[in-house]
Amino acid sequence: MRKLKVLIIAIFTLTATTFATDWSTNFSYNISFGAGNISDYIGRPSWLGFSLDFKGQEKTNLTWGFSFAWNSFYEKTGEIVYFDGDKRDGSLSGTQLRYLNVFPMMVNVGYVFGKYYSEIKPFVSAYIGTSYYSRQTDIGVYRFTNYAWGFTVAPELGLKIPTSRTSNFVISGRWYNTFGVDDSFISDETNRNYVTINIGFDFAY
Amino acid sequence: MKRITQFKTRISLSVLIVLLTIGLSSCYYDYGLATSDYDAILTHWDKNTDFGKYKTFFVLDTVFHLIGENDEDNITRKYDEMILQSIRHNFGAKGYKEMALDTNDFPNKLPDFFVTVSIGKSTYTGGGWYYPPYWGPGWGWYPGYPGYWPGGGYYYNYETGTIFVDFLDKNDIDFGNPDSYVQPKWSGIMEGLVSNESSNSQRILNGIDRMFYQSPVLVAGGETK
């Protein structure tokens, strides 16, 4: 009986909390800049990408939610690739089309500074989750592919500029740090880093 | 009621945005590749060999055509002499000296290494009805040409030509047994699409030059040329 009471109270508390939460969806266009070994593989910034964040905001200005993104790097290059084998070394050249598609999937917590809907509100967020790395390299008539998952953390700083009572123009910078991505074609190191500039809108429900 | 409708509209809007973005994701930049963009050059060499110790070479004057036992040899010999000349020139530019083979004194007086040239052709045909036509890891090398039509079917049928240039140490060759296998100390491989274009000669010459350019180990007597 005691357990039932606890369960009922928990359900009511959770329901009340959910209804007290303001939900919003943020959709942003992303420009991405590879760093470290991503930049060595594809030096060109990515102009192809988006992020989609679902966030709930408490009265305490604390936010939480989940997020998806897609960032696509690609470049054409004629760089010679040298490789070391156990018994034989070698080199490979030809026009290369390099593609790297990253799909981060994360949960987030954050804090929005400011009280009123009409004011410009800075915010900070922290993301944690996983990223799927899909890499494709075309050389000549050959295609080399690799698919890998990694553990990702990403801090974010941004500004919300109100456009109506229920929507904001949002600009932010997010720094993705992924660990454990196994793809020696890009690098023997397994960490991957890149920064995105995100420009979009959020809509409150 | 109004709030529910508003909520549904926004959810629909979000879904629409996601779908539009996924649709746009297939819009990669079209690089407008030429036939020569499909040329690839691979070289590999024995990492324990000092290529500086070799001084003289001999290029076999026959280009071997790699065909099946019962297949007809339809590989053209139009480019053979040009290929052999280019290879002689490139080994010479690396500091090696070409040596004539004295058949009267064979095999007592031999060059330090022999160079063999082989040519093969392959035809790739296939198709499918899925998107995107990724070939997963573990399948080795697979062709990606000529691409795909997003969301629909794709079909390919093309022919590639491959030139193999092998550097054989004279001490590895068993002259009494012509069928014995010799592991080349260095190999240069060029592969490209077979076409009837007038640029074929230039593509072949560029490919051979690149084999040598991207092989820094090929330097006679430690001289850099």
Encode pLDDT of B101-151 as tens digits: 877 777 778 899 999 999 988 877 765 544 333 333 222 333 333 333 334
Q: What's residue A201's pLDDT?
A: 93
Query: Which residue in the set A27, A85, A142 is minimally distant from B14, CB to CB?
Result: A27
pLDDT tens by residue, B28-52: 666 778 888 889 999 999 999 999 9
Q: What average pLDDT does range B202-214 have in this prediction?
A: 95
CA atoms of B114 and B61, how far apart (whole Å): 11
Q: What's residue B175's pLDDT?
A: 79
The answer to whether B175 contacts chain A (CB < 8 Å) is no
CA-nearest residue to B209 within chain A is A93
Contact of B126 with B142, CB cutoff 8 Å: no
Q: In this complex, do A90 and B18 lie within 8 Å of one another by their Cβ atoms?
A: no
Q: What's residue A148's pLDDT?
A: 95
CA-nearest residue to A94 within chain B is B40
Q: Is the pLDDT of residue B160 over 80?
A: yes
ipTM summary value: 0.73
Q: Is the peptide bond before B111 cis (omega within 30 degrees of 0)?
A: no
pLDDT tens by residue, A171-188: 999 999 999 999 988 888
**Edge-to-edge order in the sheet of strand A81-84:** A81-84, A88-94, B40-46, B186-193, B154-169, B113-128, B56-66, B97-98
The token pair that represents B84 in the structure block: 């052999």
pLDDT tens by residue, B51-107: 999 999 999 988 988 888 888 888 889 999 999 999 999 999 999 999 988 777 777
Q: What average pLDDT does range B8-23 have in this prediction?
A: 60
**C-alpha distances out from residue B102 to B38, B54, B96, B161, Å:** 41, 19, 18, 33
DSSP state of B138: T
- Reference A147, options B140, B133, B137; nearest CA is B137
Chain A contact set for B148 (CB, 8 A): none
Q: Is the pLDDT of residue B16 over 80?
A: no
CA atoms of A184 and A17, how far apart (whole Å): 47
pLDDT tens by residue, A72-131: 999 999 989 888 888 899 999 999 999 999 999 999 999 999 877 788 999 999 999 999
Q: Is the pLDDT of residue B191 over 70?
A: yes
Q: Is the pLDDT of residue A145 over 50?
A: yes
CA atoms of A124 and A112, how far apart (whole Å): 7
CA-nearest residue to B27 within chain A is A48
Query: Which residue in the set B13, B142, B214 is minimally distant from A93, CB to CB?
Result: B214
Query: Which residue in the set B14, B24, B191 is minimally distant from A140, CB to CB?
Result: B191
To test the contact with chain A by mutation, choose from B39, B124, B154, B160 the residue with the greatest count of A C-beta atoms within 10 A, namely B39
| % chain A with pLDDT above 90 | 65
DSSP state of A46: B
With 0.90 as the threshold, say if the pTM is over it. Answer: no
Question: Taking the CB of residue A146, how many other CB atoms lie within 10 A of it?
Answer: 18
Distance between start and end Cα atoms, chain A:
38
A interface toward B at CB cutoff 8 Å?
A: 25, 27, 48, 50, 52, 70, 72, 74, 76, 80, 82, 84-85, 87-95, 97, 99, 136, 138-147, 203, 205
CA atoms of B20 and A5, how far apart (whole Å): 47
Backbone angles phi, psi at A201, to 5 degrees: -130, 150
Chain B contact set for A70 (CB, 8 A): 21, 25
Backbone angles phi, psi at B192, to 5 degrees: -155, 170
Q: What average pLDDT does range B149-160 have in this prediction?
A: 58
Q: What's residue A29's pLDDT?
A: 94
- Reference A176, options A56, A46, A33; nearest CA is A33
Chain B contact set for A146 (CB, 8 A): 137
Backbone angles phi, psi at B13, to 5 degrees: -60, -45
Axis crossing angle, helix B200-213 with helix B80-93, rounded to the nearest 10 = 30
Side chain identity at B130, as an amino acid letter? Y
CA dihedral B183, B39, A37, A100 (to 10 degrees): -120
Q: In this complex, do A138 and B39 lie within 8 Å of one another by their Cβ atoms?
A: no
Side chain identity at A117, as an amino acid letter? Y
**pLDDT confidence tier of residue A46, bands split at 50, 70 and 90:** very high
List the single range of A58-62, A133-137, B121-125, B205-209 with lowest mean pLDDT: B121-125
Q: What's residue B70's pLDDT?
A: 83
Contact of B99 with B111, CB cutoff 8 Å: yes
The token pair that represents B12 in the structure block: 């629909």
Q: What's residue B36's pLDDT?
A: 87
Q: Quick one: CA dihedral A26, A29, A31, A34, positive or negative?
A: positive
Contact of A125 with A108, CB cutoff 8 Å: yes
Q: What's residue B149's pLDDT?
A: 36
Chain A contact set for B160 (CB, 8 A): 141
Which residues 101-120 of B are in CB contact (within 8 Å) with A? none
